[in-house]
Structure 1
Amino acid sequence: MSASSRNLRYIIIGAGMAGILAGIRLRERGEENFVIYEKGDGVGGTWRENTYPGVACDTPAHSYSYSFAFNPEWSAFYAPGSEIRGYFEKMTDRFGVRDFIRFNTEIASCRFEDGRWHVTTRDGEEDVADVLVAATGVLHHPSIPDIPGLADFQGKCFHSARWDHDIDYARQRVGVIGNGSTGVQIVAALAGKVQRLVHFQRSPQWIMPCPDTRYSEDDKQAFRTDPQRIEDVRSGPEAQARRGRFLAAIIDANSPELAEIQSIVEQNLENSVRDPALREKLRPNYRAACKRMVFSPNYYEKVQDPTVYVDTSGIERIESDGVRMRDGSFHPLDVLVLATGFKADAFVRPMTITGRDGADLNTLWAQHPKAYYAVTVPDFPNFFMLNGPTGPVGNFSLIDIAERQWNYIEQLVALLRSGRCTEVSPSHAALEHYEALRTEAAKKTVFASGCSSWYLDAEGVPQVWPWPYEHFMEVMEKPNLDDYELTAA
């Protein structure tokens, strides 16, 4: 079959950053035979879901942009969530992707049968494609904590990704459970603006100080007229030094770079928090970067507001009108916010994905989610993931990661398009070899240095990319076809 005679059909799941990217790249190739299924009512993924006060990206805005579509209009070095969603809305329209999206359509199952992917929606509709791309994101299924009495609370209670904008918070006593990036951002935004604010922390976080840099109209005009200024923010010496330090720190827990980061966060705590008792409450008992780094320009300042109270004594149970602590103390509350993160091991689940000869993705992922270089899976031909399991996560630009992964995927799809094969998937041996190397390397990262986090699997092994980012860039340049099984018609 010639290249010109094979018109592949594509199904993309998710209209967040990665799904939009896939649509843009397909359109650039002149492809029209594709559909993007989106369970929500708009684009933007996590930036559509998360609208809580203070929501922002902790990757510099100019780095959290497509490499082919700079945005000189960012209002700040770290852009607020509403602007990020607006950017993706604009990109969807600018590149003509919106007409290919089916909103409010959730996928229930996908099965590979007779050489094609058969997809069924929650409403019972069916679709068929040659190529299936999962762009479902990493953090999109809210994790609800198993706290006794949670259902008994009579006030307003909701997950941070389901923010209630109808409440007049100024007159409320608000409790925030959780202190990852989301909890820190919410507390910093609400401090001094509510009647009382209690921040419940199971374990404190190291806070990396960061500039609260706002771009003036002159700054924006400079970005508009000289795109090199944007490129300097993205990959100039300062950006490279910042990324290089963090990368070296996480892959080697004994590196001087991690020692430098440790010194910075310790000094931030010492110099920012006046009250010794509060300072000790906020001092973690693990090394910096063991959990995902939390960046904030003002959390330590805001948490010292007289209306804010930090409680690390541990929650005993939720009662109808507040939270009872293990030491017997009680916090009466009107609003309870669950900033408790997401089910990080879900990825494409709860969809049922069935591959060749009935292979079940849940069975393959029984121990933990895994994929060959975070993109492909044995026995699941022509199935590709963007930002899949064990890829680079943390404080990196997921856009850069997704762009490099799409370059990799495109080369595999080209084999299908050309007729060289009708099915492409990695071998089991290739995945096992990759996982063995990755697991051993992951045990040496800072993520395995003695803290609990969503990076760890049930056995305590970090499910992360454990090597230099340059290695990721290298392997994404070109697939090693020796590790792939190519099936001809």
Structure 2
Amino acid sequence: MLIVGAGWGGIQYAVRMIQAGIPAQKIQIIDPAATSICPFSEQRDMYLGIDIPAVRRFSTGVLNRPKLPGVPGILDYRGEMFHTSCWAYDITGGSPKDPSLDKLNNKTVAIIGTRASSVQVVPQLTRWCKHLYVIQQTPAAVDIRDQRGTDERWFKEEVDRCEGWQRERMKNFNEHFTLGDPPSLNLVDDQWTRAPSLVGIAGNSNGPKLPSEIVAYTSKLIKIDTPRQNRIRAQVDKQVKGPVTAEKLKPWYPSFCKRPLFHDDYLATFNKDNVVGNEEYKADIIICATGYRSPSTETHAGKANLAMIGKNGVSMSTEWPRQSGLGGNYAFTLGEYAKHAAYILSEAKRQANGKPFAVAPTAEAAENWAQLVLMNSAAMAVIVGCTLGYYNLEGELALLPVEYQAIAAWSTLWGTGMEDWLDVIEKWRAVGRMDGIEVRI
């Protein structure tokens, strides 16, 4: 078995396949990260040919194609510059095991971007560099992280008390994304579970079913979200001393329009004398914290920068709709994908009875599933009018021609939420007939 991708998904697929009876010695995991090639600096069109009986599984992730800022001539720049996804320790000093960025002493650094990567990187850079200039397009909505230690005794007595405790907590987490009454007990009790408006990116079984209901639904989410964003803007005033800087750091968009961020040191960093934002300055080093290409713009093969050619020479990149697969708990989603794939493989092996086989969905089943996704997609349409970002393809989602809107809807999340999606696939497995799956012997 070949698994493409050695991240969270690849590891979980390997574990589930071993549980399904595949010997560990017959599983190979490949990942381009092992080649030490930065995707944006040296793109390679890879062709992977396999001429032996094998099972291939793509687990190529969603945020894995770094994006450079759209500045004319940036690829011609010859100064010291790198993307946060491929950290240049030869420029900054330090290593994956040593956080001492000692080569930044007496250096002026400019970091472009103020989203998830930058929020984590900025506080660290200020400890080492002479000056840090933060180049911002849209302020990050940074809530408190409130990280706490885990009491071992409490964990054993209150959490790890019976088999299935992790699934219980996952279910409780998922059920907090609702506009109805959440569970009376909050087992996770983090900032995600205290932000009901995040159903805008997590899905909602009580969301709109028709396009005509989307505007009213969006207004409802904004109204629910306003107290949270007001609190976050007040937090900026509380932590940032300079009123001019504080105003520049305030987010004026709904929580569901951007990936929620949580950090206890980021805002206070702008009180330091060596941090400046939103001006033109000379810099020794440029760091691009500009994120990744939208996960909805490519297929699994495209995300891996591979050409995946199937039966009759059909390319995965032209046959399959683009897919995203993000959610409130992405690692959990990957685990459920892996479990589902392992079930299909186990049943296919049983039906093949030792003979070589191939597994594929029927054309009818693929079409039916696409229609189910489409029918449940209205709740996810709130992102269309959001601030530019990878959720809405940097604003291009609203500009799609009518004939492409259905394709975009097919590529979105399951609009009625994680638990509803799990209910659908678990019931399918419980029937045990592999409906819609062909095992070709």
Per the normalisation by structure 1, the TM-score is: 0.65
Amino acid corresponding to residue 17 of structure 1 in structure 2 = W
User: Partner of 1:308 in structure 2?
Assistant: 275
| Number of the residue aligned with 2:291 | 341
Higher relative contact order (CA 8 A, sep 6+): 2
**Alignment match of 2:84 (pick from 156, 160, 173):** 160
Query: Counterpart of 1:134 in structure 2: which amino acid?
Result: F
Show the counterpart of 1:284.
251
What residue in structure 1 maps to residue 121 of structure 2? 186
The answer on whether the counterparts of 2:17 and 2:342 sit within 8 Å (CA) in structure 1 is no
Q: Output aligned runs, 1:315-334, within 5 Å.
A: 330-334=280-284
Distance 1:228 1:477 in 2: 24
CA distance in 1, matches of 2:335, 2:143: 27
- Give the structure 2 partner of residue 202 of structure 1: 137
**Can you give the 5+ residue segments of structure 2 that lack an aligned partner in the other structure?**
93-102, 173-184, 208-217, 399-407
User: Identity over aligned residues, as a percent?
Assistant: 21
Given candidates 17, 21, 24, the residue that maps to 2:15 is: 24
Give deviations 1:225-267, integer Å, cap 9, x for gaps: 9862895987672416743745535446424653443343233
Alignment partner, residue 140 of structure 1: 64
Once the two structures are TM-superposed, the CA of residue 405 in structure 1 deviates from its matched residue by 1.3
- Check the 8 A contact 1:192/1:308 in 2, yes or no: no
Q: Is the 8 A contact 2:384 2:397 kept in 1?
A: no
Aligned to 1:351: 306
- Alignment coverage as a number of residue pairs: 364
Q: How does 1:327-406 map to 2 (within 5 A)?
A: 330-343=280-293, 344=295, 345-346=297-298, 347-349=300-302, 350-365=305-320, 369=322, 389-391=323-325, 393-396=326-329, 398-406=330-338
2:232 and 2:373 map into 1 onto residues whose CA distance is: 29
Q: Is 2:39 the partner of 1:38?
A: no
Would the aligned equivalents of 2:257 and 2:391 in 1 still touch at CA under 8 Å? no
- Of Structure 1 and Structure 2, which has the larger fraction of its residues in helix? 2
String of CA shifts for 1:428-479, please: whole Å, max 9, x gaps.
4544454455456545434234221112244346854232221122233244
**Mind listing any 5+ residue stretches in structure 1 that lack a counterpart?**
1-9, 51-105, 110-118, 121-125, 312-328, 370-388
In structure 2, distance between residues paired with 1:270 and 1:244: 21
User: Residue 173 of structure 1: CA displacement?
Assistant: 0.5
Alignment of 1:40-439 (within 5 A): 40-41=33-34, 108-109=46-47, 119-120=48-49, 126-166=50-90, 167=92, 168-214=103-149, 219=151, 228=160, 237-239=186-188, 242-243=192-193, 245-246=195-196, 247-250=198-201, 251=203, 253=218, 254-255=220-221, 257-311=224-278, 330-343=280-293, 344=295, 345-346=297-298, 347-349=300-302, 350-365=305-320, 369=322, 389-391=323-325, 393-396=326-329, 398-419=330-351, 422-439=357-374
Q: Which residue of 2 is the match for residue 469 of structure 1?
A: 418
CA contact (8 A) 2:141 2:251 kept: yes
**What residue number does 1:62 align with?**
none
Distance 1:434 1:259 in 2: 35
Deviation of 1:300 (Å): 1.0
2 CA distance for matches of 1:225 and 1:482? 40
Instruction: Tell me the distance in 1 between the aligned counterparts of 2:158 and 2:123.
Output: 34
Within 2, Cα distance between the matches of 1:131 and 1:302? 49
Cα-to-partner distance string for 1:399-433 (whole Å, 9 max, x where unaligned)? 21122112211222123101269443334454445
How far, CA to CA, are the matches of 2:194 and 2:68 in structure 1? 35
Contact 1:195 1:307 in 2 (8 A): yes
Superposed CA deviations along residues 138-180 of structure 1, whole A, max 9, x for unmatched, are 1222222331232454431011112122331121100111121
* Aligned partners of 1:424 and 1:487 also within 8 Å: yes
For 1:195 and 1:210, the matched residues in 2 are separated by 27
Matches of 2:372 and 2:194 in 1, distance apart? Answer: 22
User: Judging changes above 3 Å, is the alpha-carbon distance between structure 1 residues 108 and 221 closer, same or farther for their aligned structure 2 residues?
Assistant: farther
**What residue number does 2:389 align with?**
453
SS of equivalent to 1:419: helix
* Root-mean-square deviation over aligned CA pairs: 3.5
User: Relative to structure 1, is the Cα distance of residues 160 and 486 closer, same or farther in structure 2, using a 3 angstrom cutoff?
Assistant: same
SS of the equivalent of 1:354 reads coil
Q: Offset of 1:30 from its aligned partner?
A: 3.9
Q: Report if aligned partners of 1:248, 1:258 keep a CA contact under 8 Å in 2.
A: no
Aligned to 2:182: none
Equivalent AA in structure 2 for residue 353 of structure 1: M
* CA distance in structure 2 between the partners assigned to 1:211 and 1:248 by the alignment: 22
In structure 2, C-alpha distance between the alignment counterparts of 1:196 and 1:476, rounded to whole Å: 53
- Mapped to 1, the partners of 2:38 and 2:15 lie a distance apart of 22
Q: Is the 8 A contact 2:146 2:264 kept in 1?
A: yes
Q: Is the 8 A contact 2:126 2:275 kept in 1?
A: yes
In structure 1, the residue corresponding to 2:16 is in which secondary structure?
helix
> Which amino acid is 1:148 matched to?
P
Instruction: Supply the AA of the counterpart residue of 2:133.
Output: V
Bigger Cα displacement from structure 2, 278-287 vs 194-203? 278-287
- Verify: 1:486 aligned to 2:441, yes or no: no
Contact in 2 for aligned 1:204/1:282 (Cα 8 Å): yes
Instruction: Work out whether residues 178 and 202 of structure 1, in 8 Å CA contact, stay in contact via their aligned partners in 2.
Output: yes
- Counterpart amino acid of residue 350 in structure 2: S
Separation in 2, partners of 1:301, 1:148: 33
Work out the CA distance in 2 between the residues paired with 1:430 and 1:29: 24
How far, CA to CA, are the matches of 1:359 and 1:430 in structure 2?
Answer: 18
**Aligned counterparts of 1:143 and 1:305: Cα–Cα separation in 2:** 29
CA distance in 2, matches of 1:194, 1:308: 10
Cα pair distance change 1:263/1:443, threshold 3 Å: farther
